[in-house]
A and B are shown apart, each in its own frame.
Chain A
């Protein structure tokens, strides 16, 4: 499979704490994107980082990308109960022809 792997598979934290999830992938990429999915619903785009970028911020989100290690991390600071969801990374291959999702991290934020 060319899917990425996400780590951890599940994460449970207290409200106000930071949550970090990691994504590893296998092929050269144009960009890497993070999505959120609330239970059984569609995906919501969070942030896109291009292959020539190393770090990007959006509100309480911070994404890093290390193309030499083929890995990315998503940090959610000061988590809220509403952040409870599954988080997926998705990579667009350098040929632009395929789009692969990771296996996802299930985040639970306890109020």
Chain B
């Protein structure tokens, strides 16, 4: 079974631009969560989608948004990029919403904002 895939793996953008990251969960998994990892703040939860609905959202500004498609693939979008958005963005999938379940992580997209 293929694992969680994320595209692109690396991305360089400039301040003010927007970016869209993609995540394809493990086949059969319907829940997708997104995390931001930075050296200063560690791993922080962005949001979780299940059956195309956002279930939970972390404490991030409205510039961060996401969506999930009927095939469970998910995208996250960051608008008006800031230098502080430079981070490793990780996507994780699970069979069902996280309660009591194991999440499987993708390799991440490393975003650099110049």
Contacts and interface: CB of A to CB of B under 8 A. Distances in A.
Genuine A/B complex: yes
Interface of A: 3, 30-31, 33, 35, 40-45, 48, 50, 88, 90, 92, 96-104
B43 A42 contact: no
B106 A96 contact: no
Contacts of A33: 102-103
Given A40-B88, A43-B90, A103-B42, A96 B108 contact: no
Instruction: State the majority secondary structure of interface residues on B.
Output: strand
Given A42-B107, A99-B33, A92 B98 contact: yes
A3 B58 CA distance: 12
Interface residues of B, number: 26
B52 to A, nearest CB: 18
Contacts of B90: 42-43
B77 to A, nearest CB: 21
Given A42-B4, A42-B105, A99-B33, A50 B100 contact: yes
A30 B107 contact: no
Contacts of B64: none
A99 B58 CA distance: 9
B56 A42 contact: no
Contact of A97 (B43, B56, B102): B56
A92 B98 CA distance: 8
Interface in B15-72: 33, 35, 42-45, 48, 55-56, 58
A3 B102 contact: no
Nearest to B92: A43
A33 B99 CA distance: 12
Nearest to A4: B42
26 contacts: A3-B44, A33-B102, A33-B103, A40-B88, A40-B110, A41-B107, A42-B4, A42-B105, A42-B108, A43-B92, A44-B105, A45-B103, A45-B105, A48-B100, A48-B102, A50-B100, A90-B43, A92-B98, A92-B99, A92-B100, A97-B55, A98-B45, A98-B58, A99-B33, A101-B35, A101-B44
